[in-house]
Structure 1
């Protein structure tokens, strides 16, 4: 079983290569590093950081040095994080992993990008009223797709073994924006409908599938208004697949085809350059329909799947993996992320039992979240669990 720890480039920069990689190899004993290459905004607490406890991560920043020639003529382009200065953490990580015999994975956030969404609103998803969700990029937009393709090419020059593709899909209304507020209860249906994209590119993709996109948009906007006007209406259940006489379900299916085609293109592009691409499905099987996640279609297109195995017990981890099989994803096609921290694990035996469960199921890869956000004794748990 391959193993890796997810980490931020700032961990490497702030701790230095010897301490950082020493913890990975001597304490955790893993065979790889999964380093964030492009990441979203965050404010985190770092328990073992040498000089600070709280750090902010810049919105939509790149933690490598973008090659200007590759991005010539493209409006959407990554911007190097100010925290890395003149350094290239990915080049440093590539050199260190090669020297130490470790795999290097690029943990890459594609469509959740506040920086680019605010700079280029026309590339962000639009709800049924035309309001742009500026914390995201729409995967149907041709410029967004070109950005994603070029990003894969950039990562290939570092000798990356695999790309862990996070947020390579649509997002719902609630996605943790700063001071995001909902003083009235919107209800699950209104929230779901407000998360659908009706930008010109998504409507065009739906029409190409024979879906009356404008009619669906009108039905959705009317239904949202009805639920916003009255709290009793907001609480009403609704079968989303029956709205607009079933056309809404077809519209969502068209969005899923958009996501699948982009992921397949990127996986093929990565493969031509010696890399694997795994689609990170954080919510698990059956939960991503409105985000455009079609697991059977993704695996049929040759896209690997990575999921969160966040759970207190090995039995719960087993159930999470088994649920994927019901959606056409074999354990052999999965990578699973575990948390060795206290909210999931009470010690190395618990973590070891989860790893044993994954091995028994045939899961080939396990990753651990997250280097800088865990106490150092959680790194020791990883080593004890992996190597007894």
Structure 2
């Protein structure tokens, strides 16, 4: 089974390559590192970082040095994080990974990018009223698609083995801005409807499929106005697939085809450079339809589907992974992310049992979240679970 640890480039910068890669080798004993290449805004606590405990990650920043010629004349382009200065963490990681015989993966957040969304609002999704969701980029927008495929090409020069594609799809209303406020209860139906994109590109894609996009948009507006105006109406359930005489379901199907087409384009671009593309489905089977996630189609369009195995027991993990088979995704075409921290794991035995479960199911790849956000003892737990014994050459937790 392939194994790697997800990490931020700032971990490498703050600790230095020798300590960072030494921990991956000697403590975790994994076969690779999945390093964030483009990442969203965050504020995190870093238990073992020698320079800081709390760090802010910049919105939509890149943690490599983009090739200027590749992006000439384009509005959507990756902007290096101020935190990396003049360094190129990906080049440093690539050199050290090669020296140690480890694989390097590029952990890439594609369409959840508030830096680019705020800079270019016309590339962001728009709700039924035309309000732009500026923390996102719309997967149906041609500029966004060009940005995503070009981004993949950047990683080939670093010798990246695989790309972990996060947010290569739409997001709902509540995904993603800090200090979001909802003082009146919207209800799940209104929230779902407010997350659907009606930008010109999504409407055009729906119309091309024979969907009356303008009628769907008007029906969604009317339903939202009624629910926003009346507290009693907000709490009522609704059959969304019947809205606009069933045309909303067809509209969402068109959005899913846009996501699948984008994933296929990015996968093809990766394959041309000898890289694998793993599509992250964080919602889980049957839950991503409002995000445009059609699992059977995506399983055929990409190399692997990845899920978050953030559960407490091996049995719960077995049930979660097995559920994907009901949606056309075989376990042998999956990757799973586990957290070795106390929230999910009470010790190395628990983690080892989860790894045995994944092997029994035929899952070929496991990743561990997240290097900088865990204690060093959790890295030791990974090594113990992977290799069945305490790892050697480790130093006490600091």
Tell me the TM-score normalized by structure 2: 0.97
Tell me whether 1:179 sits opposite 2:179 in the alignment: yes
Tell me whether 1:120 sits opposite 2:120 in the alignment: yes
Tell me whether 1:334 sits opposite 2:334 in the alignment: yes
The CA deviation at 1:38 is 0.1
Cα distance between partner residues in 2 of 1:121 and 1:68: 23
| Cross-structure match for 1:137 | 137
Kindly report structure 1 stretches of 4+ aligned residues shifted beyond 2 Å. none
Cα distance between partner residues in 2 of 1:302 and 1:378: 31
Cα distance between partner residues in 2 of 1:79 and 1:301: 28
SS in 1 for 2:186: coil
SS in 1 for 2:353: helix
Q: 1:277-296, aligned counterparts within 5 Å?
A: 277-296=277-296
| Cross-structure match for 2:93 | 93
Assess if the C-alpha contact under 8 Å between 1:263 and 1:303 holds in 2: no
Give unpaired runs (5+ residues) of structure 2: 389-398
Assess if the C-alpha contact under 8 Å between 1:43 and 1:55 holds in 2: yes
Cα distance between partner residues in 2 of 1:303 and 1:257: 17
The CA deviation at 1:269 is 1.1
Q: 1:1-388, aligned counterparts within 5 Å?
A: 1-388=1-388
SS in 1 for 2:322: helix
Cα distance between partner residues in 1 of 2:127 and 2:193: 8
RMSD of Structure 2 on Structure 1 (CA): 0.6
Cα distance between partner residues in 2 of 1:212 and 1:47: 53
| CA pair 46-302 structure 1, distance change in 2 beyond 3 A | closer
1:43-64 CA distances to partner (integer Å, 9 max, x unpaired)? 0000001021100000000000
Cα distance between partner residues in 2 of 1:178 and 1:74: 28
The CA deviation at 1:300 is 1.8
The CA deviation at 1:157 is 1.1
1:247-285 CA distances to partner (integer Å, 9 max, x unpaired)? 000000000000000001111110110000011000101
SS in 2 for 1:312: coil
Cα distance between partner residues in 1 of 2:157 and 2:284: 32
SS in 2 for 1:66: coil
Cα distance between partner residues in 1 of 2:99 and 2:307: 29
Tell me the TM-score normalized by structure 1: 0.99
Assess if the C-alpha contact under 8 Å between 1:264 and 1:303 holds in 2: no
The CA deviation at 1:169 is 0.2
1:148-174 CA distances to partner (integer Å, 9 max, x unpaired)? 011001111111000000000000000
Cα distance between partner residues in 1 of 2:340 and 2:386: 12
Q: Single out whichever of 297-306 and 189-198 deviates more from structure 2.
A: 297-306
Cα distance between partner residues in 2 of 1:260 and 1:200: 19
Cα distance between partner residues in 1 of 2:328 and 2:78: 35
Assess if the C-alpha contact under 8 Å between 2:171 and 2:195 holds in 1: yes
